[in-house]
Amino acid sequence: MRVIQLAAGGAVALALLPAAARAEEIDSFRVTGIEGHVNLRYVSDVASTAQTGSANTTERQSQAGLRSELFVMSHSYAYHPNFLTLDIGGGPILYGENVSSGSGRASARGALYNLSARASFLRDKPYRGNLFFEHLNPTVSISPGQVLNQESNRYGLDFSLLAPVTPIPLQGGFTRTHTTGSGSERTVDDLIDQFTLNASRSHGALGSTQLQLQTSQQTSTSGSLNLPIQTSTAANHALNLDTRLQFGDDRQYDLTGIVSLNSQQYTQDSNRYPDLQDQRLMLDARARHTAQLHSHGSYSYSHSTQGSVDAATQSANAGLSYWPMTGVEATLGVRGDDTRTRQYTTHAQGMDGAIRYEQALPLGVAQFSYDVRYDQRSQQALAGQSAIFGEQITLTGTAYTTLGHPHVVAGSPVVTNASRSQTFVAGIDYLLSIVGTETRIQRLIGGGILDGEKVLVDYSHDVGGTYAYQQLDQALSMSWNWSRYLNVFFRHVTSAPRLSSGSPTFPLNEVRSHTFGARADLPLDAGIALTLGGGFERENRQETISPYRRSSEDIYVQTEEPLFDLGYVRASRRHSRIEYGNAAQNTDLDGYELRFWSRHWFGIDLTATLGGEQDRSGLLPRRRSDASFGAQWQERKFHLTASLVRSRETQGEFARDRTTFQFLARREF
């Protein structure tokens, strides 16, 4: 009877075990973790712009806001972690904001929310994917000292198909992002659709090939509040094929091939910009024959069409590098290129060589180099001018930026923002100036271009006529280095073009230049470890078109250990001057900076900076000063940060003051 009971109990246990095991292995839903944070953020941004002279006006704008945010993120899975994982989070945002300007005051109070959701399918399978959605309301910095409240909705999917499902691994995805926002001077409303597809193929030890397809569509009504804003649309399509191979018993031969196809279309309201079609091919081969002898060769082809521009360029080069002994390097190269456009054709061929020598001395190391280049170039002009569309440049502060082509036709530049929803005005938003063959653009502080903003420039440039010339360029460099403490250098450069036929519309530029200088970084012990450093440089450039003299000096002192056990200090001063022989855009720039930083001082990291610069020369004398203070403290999962930035810029009759304060308290859980 006892045996029968034991047998019956064992049978019941065996019947129950599979069910219990299945219950442990498979759950319809399980939460694996919860995390989140609480934020309290305060931002204050106050700016005023004053104009003296006949206008004598002052405009003041301010924006202040307090936000409290709770965000909770859960991590879970359905049935199995490798089947479906879910990351879902969100939370409320309570805000209050006050904005004032010359047109009046406004305030707002209310509630927003953040939401983030991602579902990942079959993460360990060769066919996997993700679905995601985000609704976020961040406060972002769009330029130094300027913040913007944004609302962003982003959703889409991505997927991967891997072996053995497909012999060629594929990754792709689609994303739609709609961003809106406003600040004291800027509004944002951008809708972007983007699709990407990547494929890769390994060739084993030989190398690999990567294929990338990317297409995007953007609709924008973003820009400065002080200028008209138009709706613009941009479509971009790109296909890139990149192959990289290595051959040889020691993998001493490298071959790279890149093919790219690009197209771009811009529409501004009813105005359609010329479409861009661009195709490029590049082949590059490199070989390491011995430890002393290397060789290289490359070929490239490009064809671009945009409006009146139809340009096809071919170029090829080959060269050798040789190290006959320690400290000696010699190089030799040949090259040629051919460009054909509707406006002109050019043919060029040439060769170059260099020798570099390094010699250890009883004290320090001496270096010598000599470079020589010879070119023959001919050009046949079919039109007087050629157009450039959408040259992208970044305007930082009030510094000058040079356009990419010389001999820009006066009155032809048109400057827009990166999305082409806004056209800037010369003399109000930016200033153009000419130095020799160069055309420079400068941001004006009273205009609508942000500090550090990327802009697009359309312009025409002079082709230069029909002519042919030879040119010999030479450069001689000598330097002496004493460890990392001292460097003394000298450079002499000559460029001698000689006209052989034709009549160019501008003179050939003959150059003779020499530069010398020194730099030192010396450790000192004055009761505390210091580094004292600085340098100077002098250049005298005699040339046909725009001769000038340039000088620069700087000096600094920096503590290498905490001063009075509080923190590190660095003080620096710099000066540079450029005097042109036949232009009014001279530069006489003075700058300084005093910086203090401390790590974990009473548990707080501190930084404080005071700096500025002044240019007394040029068409518009300018001055900038800025002061900033930052602090952060962290105790386990509690984090505090605060920053205060104060800046002042003056440029001609304009002066702009800006004060920005930000405070953030964050608790992770």
The pLDDT tens digits for 405-454 are 999 999 999 999 999 999 999 988 999 988 888 999 999 988 889 888 99
Q: Is residue 663 a contact partner of residue 641, using CB atoms and an 8 Å limit?
A: yes
Structure tokens at 138: 């961040």
- C-alpha distances out from residue 203 to 209, 245, 246, 301, 465, Å: 8, 8, 10, 26, 50
Within a domain: residue 182?
no
12 — pLDDT class (breaks 50, 70, 90) = very low
CA distance 48 to 653: 14
Q: Is residue 112 a contact partner of residue 93, using CB atoms and an 8 Å limit?
A: yes
Residue carrying structure tokens 């308290």: 665
Domain that includes residue 417, residue range: 385-462
pLDDT at residue 33 is higher than 70: yes
State if pTM tops 0.85.
Answer: no
Q: Is residue 422 a contact partner of residue 428, using CB atoms and an 8 Å limit?
A: no
Within a domain: residue 356?
no
CA distance 45 to 35: 32
pLDDT at residue 601 is higher than 70: no
Within a domain: residue 257?
no
> CA-based angle 651:657:661, to the nearest 5?
145
Within a domain: residue 422?
yes
Within a domain: residue 102?
no
Terminal C-alpha separation, the chain: 60
Whether the upstream peptide bond of residue 164 has omega within 30° of 0, thus cis, is: yes
Residue carrying structure tokens 């990166």: 418
Quote the pLDDT of residue 145.
62
Residue carrying structure tokens 């000066």: 575
Quote the pLDDT of residue 99.
84
* pLDDT 10s digits, 433-442: 888 889 999 9
Q: Is residue 233 a contact partner of residue 419, using CB atoms and an 8 Å limit?
A: no
24 — pLDDT class (breaks 50, 70, 90) = very low
Closest CA relative to residue 497, chosen from 468, 472, 464, 463: 472
Within a domain: residue 538?
no
Total domains, the chain: 1
Amino acid at position 455, single letter = V
Q: Is residue 84 a contact partner of residue 77, using CB atoms and an 8 Å limit?
A: yes
In sequence order, the β-bridge partners of residue 71 are 37
CA distance 397 to 173: 38
Closest CA relative to residue 645, chosen from 605, 598, 609: 609
Q: What are phi and psi of 142, to 5 degrees?
A: -105, -10
- C-alpha distances out from residue 423 to 389, 434, 444, Å: 14, 22, 15
Most confident of 105-109, 329-333, 619-623: 329-333
143 — pLDDT class (breaks 50, 70, 90) = confident
CA distance 379 to 320: 29
Give kind and range of the element (H or E) at residue 6.
helix 2-25
CA distance 162 to 645: 50
Within a domain: residue 13?
no
Give kind and range of the element (H or E) at residue 201.
strand 186-202
614 — pLDDT class (breaks 50, 70, 90) = very high
In sequence order, the β-bridge partners of residue 633 are 604, 640
Q: What are phi and psi of 316, to 5 degrees?
A: -145, 150
Burial (CB count <10 Å: 0-12, 13-18, 19+), residue 431 = buried
Which of 646-660 are b and which e, b meaning 16 or more Cβ less than 10 Å from the residue's Cβ? bbbbbbbebbbbbbb
Within a domain: residue 471?
no
- C-alpha distances out from residue 618 to 324, 407, 428, 443, 611, Å: 50, 20, 17, 14, 21
